[in-house]
Amino acid sequence: MLVRRPSGALTVSERSPVRVEIPSWMRRMTLAELVLEPRDGRYRYALSQVKRLRHGKSPRSSMRAIRRDAADERCADQAKTRDGWTCRRCGRSKLEGYHMQAAHIVPRGKRYPLTTYLVENRLTLCVTCHAWAHENLKAFVQWAVMQIAPETLAKLQALSPSWKGWRFCG
């Protein structure tokens, strides 16, 4: 039987021979608790999926909204291999069971075709850090500029001079 401690952690009952501390953030939450949770990004994805369900959309349809071709997959794999399949921001790795993604510094798309398939334009991030990057563009760009070599930064700026994210660098 699980018992809540004053610290907020859930513990297996004293009558049980096994004592396991479960951090409070790992427990199941009701929707009301989820909404009242501090907005640090941990539960934002779950809330977005609840909103999708309320509007009659499938929660899985947002998972692969971007079409990817073979060149994009190849470029992403090269960036992940370059970074050792480890998140450049938090240090999580694929070996620990985390899913890695190759995030673009300069966004992909028709406006910036010269940087879309550049390996230098990508950083390996875990899913959580990639979500952070999309939610905090200014902080991400400032952090990413510190992660890449100055000559790489100059190359990206030369290939995409009209990108508005460069204003956060300086």
pLDDT at 62: 42
CA distances (Å), 162 to each of 55, 69, 157, in order? 36, 25, 9
| Residue scoring higher pLDDT (50 or 84) | 84
Split at pLDDT 50, 70, 90, the class of 52 is low
Reported as a single tens digit per residue, the pLDDT across 105-127 is 998 878 888 898 999 999 999 98
Token readout for 26 is 């790992």
| DSSP H or E run through 11 | strand 10-12
| Residue scoring higher pLDDT (87 or 29) | 87
pTM over 0.75: no
